[in-house]
A and B are shown apart, each in its own frame.
Chain A
Amino acid sequence: MYEHLETAQNPANLKRVVVDPVSRVEGHGKVTLLLDENDKVQQARLHIVEFRGFEKFIQGRPYWELPVLVQRLCGICPVSHHLAAAKAIDQLVGVDPANLPPAADKLRRLLHFGQVLQSHALHFFHLSSPDLLFGFESDIGKRNIIAVLGDYPDIGLQGVKLRKYGQEVIRMVSGKRVHGTGAVAGGMNKALSKEERDYLLRDIEQIIAWADASVALIKKVHTANLPYYDDFATIRSNYLGLVKPNGALELYHGGIRAKNDKGETIVDHFDYCNYTDLIREEVRSWSYMKFPYLTSIGKADGWYRVGPLARVNNCDFIDTPLAEAARVDFKQHSPEVMVHSTLAFHWARLIELLHCAESINTLLHDPDVMSSDLIAKGEKRYEGIGVIEAPRGTLFHHYQVDENDIVTKANLIVSTTSNNMGMNESVRQVAAEYLSGRELTEPLLNNLEVAIRAYDPCLSCATHAVGKMPLQLELLDAQGDMIGRLVRHSDGSFEH
Chain B
Amino acid sequence: MNKPILVFGYGNLSRGDDAVGPLLLIHLEQQANLNRVELLNDFQLQIEHALDLQERELVIFVDAAASGDSPFGFSKLTPCRDNSYTSHAMSPAALLQVFESVTGRRAPPGFLLSVKAKSFELGEGLSEPAEYNLRQASRFAEHILTLPTAEIVELARQNRHTACYG
Q: Annotate A453-483 by CB proximity to B: 1 below 8 A, 0 otherwise.
A: 0000000011111111100000000000000
Residues of A within 8 A of B41 (CB): 178
Q: How far is the CA of A79 from the CA of B165 in the complex (A)?
A: 31
State which of A125, A127, A160, A467 has its C-beta within 8 Å of the C-beta of B51: A160
Q: How far is the CB of B11 from chain A (nearest CB, A)?
A: 8
User: Which of chain B's residues has its CB closest to A57's CB?
Assistant: B123
State which of B13, B46, B123 has its C-beta within 8 Å of the C-beta of A56: B123
State which of A141, A143, A490 has its C-beta within 8 Å of the C-beta of B166: A490
Residues of B within 8 A of A143 (CB): 83, 85
Given A463-B12, A492-B166; A469-B86 close (CB under 8 Å): yes
What count of chain B residues pass the 8 Å CB interface test?
A: 47
Residues of B within 8 A of A73 (CB): 122
State which of B18, B50, B63, B117 has its C-beta within 8 Å of the C-beta of A462: B18
> B14 touching A57 by the CB < 8 A rule?
yes
Task: Please tell me which stretch of A21-29, A224-232, A277-285, A288-296 contacts chain B, meaning at least 4 of its Cβ atoms lie within 8 angstroms of it.
Answer: A21-29
> A490 touching B102 by the CB < 8 A rule?
no
Q: How far is the CA of A163 from the CA of B47 in the complex (A)?
A: 8
- The answer, yes or no, to whether A299 is at the interface (CB within 8 Å) is no
> A146 touching B81 by the CB < 8 A rule?
yes
Q: How far is the CB of A165 from chain B (nearest CB, A)?
A: 9
Q: How far is the CA of A143 from the CA of B85 in the complex (A)?
A: 9
- The answer, yes or no, to whether A298 is at the interface (CB within 8 Å) is no
State which of A69, A76, A149, A464 has its C-beta within 8 Å of the C-beta of B18: A464
The A-B contact count (CB < 8 A) is 157
What count of chain A residues pass the 8 Å CB interface test?
A: 55
- The answer, yes or no, to whether B43 is at the interface (CB within 8 Å) is yes
- The answer, yes or no, to whether A122 is at the interface (CB within 8 Å) is yes
- The answer, yes or no, to whether B42 is at the interface (CB within 8 Å) is yes
Q: Annotate A364-408 by CB proximity to B: 1 below 8 A, 0 otherwise.
A: 000000000000000000000000000000000000000000000
Among A57, A145, A153, A156: residue with most chain B CB under 10 A: A145
> B15 touching A467 by the CB < 8 A rule?
no
> B47 touching A463 by the CB < 8 A rule?
no
> A465 touching B102 by the CB < 8 A rule?
no
> B64 touching A465 by the CB < 8 A rule?
yes
Q: Annotate B10-53 by CB proximity to A: 1 below 8 A, 0 otherwise.
A: 11111101100000000000000000000001111011101100
Residues of B within 8 A of A466 (CB): 63-67, 91, 112, 114, 165-166
Residues of A within 8 A of B51 (CB): 160-161, 164
Q: How far is the CA of A469 from the CA of B44 in the complex (A)?
A: 14
Residues of A within 8 A of B43 (CB): 75-76, 78, 178, 462
> A463 touching B15 by the CB < 8 A rule?
yes
Given A53-B121, A156-B101, A466-B166; A488-B42 close (CB under 8 Å): no
- The answer, yes or no, to whether A342 is at the interface (CB within 8 Å) is no
State which of A76, A167, A465 has its C-beta within 8 Å of the C-beta of B63: A465
State which of B47, B81, B117, B164 has its C-beta within 8 Å of the C-beta of A126: B47
Residues of A within 8 A of B91 (CB): 466, 490-491
Q: How far is the CB of A131 from chain B (nearest CB, A)?
A: 12
Residues of B within 8 A of A153 (CB): 101
State which of B65, B82, B165 has its C-beta within 8 Å of the C-beta of A465: B65
> B102 touching A26 by the CB < 8 A rule?
no
Residues of B within 8 A of A122 (CB): 46-47, 87
- The answer, yes or no, to whether A140 is at the interface (CB within 8 Å) is yes
Residues of A within 8 A of B63 (CB): 464-466
Q: How far is the CB of A313 from chain B (nearest CB, A)?
A: 26
- The answer, yes or no, to whether A438 is at the interface (CB within 8 Å) is no
State which of A25, A141, A157, A488 has its C-beta within 8 Å of the C-beta of B88: A25
User: Which of chain A's residues has its CB closest to B45's CB?
Assistant: A464
- The answer, yes or no, to whether B146 is at the interface (CB within 8 Å) is no
User: Which of chain B's residues has its CB closest to A118's CB?
Assistant: B48
- The answer, yes or no, to whether A147 is at the interface (CB within 8 Å) is yes
> A75 touching B83 by the CB < 8 A rule?
no
- The answer, yes or no, to whether A159 is at the interface (CB within 8 Å) is yes
Q: How far is the CB of A465 from chain B (nearest CB, A)?
A: 4
- The answer, yes or no, to whether B94 is at the interface (CB within 8 Å) is yes
Residues of A within 8 A of B144 (CB): none
> B89 touching A149 by the CB < 8 A rule?
no
Q: How far is the CA of A462 from the CA of B63 in the complex (A)?
A: 12
> B85 touching A465 by the CB < 8 A rule?
no
Q: How far is the CA of A145 from the CA of B94 in the complex (A)?
A: 10
Given A462-B15, A465-B64; A149-B83 close (CB under 8 Å): no
- The answer, yes or no, to whether B138 is at the interface (CB within 8 Å) is no
Given A24-B87, A469-B89, A492-B83; A160-B14 close (CB under 8 Å): no
Closest 4 CB pairs of A and B: A75-B43, A491-B166, A492-B83, A72-B14
6 additional contacts, CB 8 Å, given A57-B123, A156-B102, A490-B91? Answer: A126-B85, A164-B48, A465-B18, A465-B63, A466-B166, A488-B83
Residues of A within 8 A of B (CB): 23-27, 53-54, 56-57, 69, 72-73, 75-76, 78, 118, 122, 125-127, 140-141, 143-147, 149-150, 153, 156-157, 159-161, 163-164, 167, 177-179, 461-469, 488-492
10 contacts between A and B (CB under 8 A): A23-B85, A122-B46, A122-B47, A149-B101, A157-B102, A160-B47, A462-B43, A466-B66, A466-B114, A466-B166
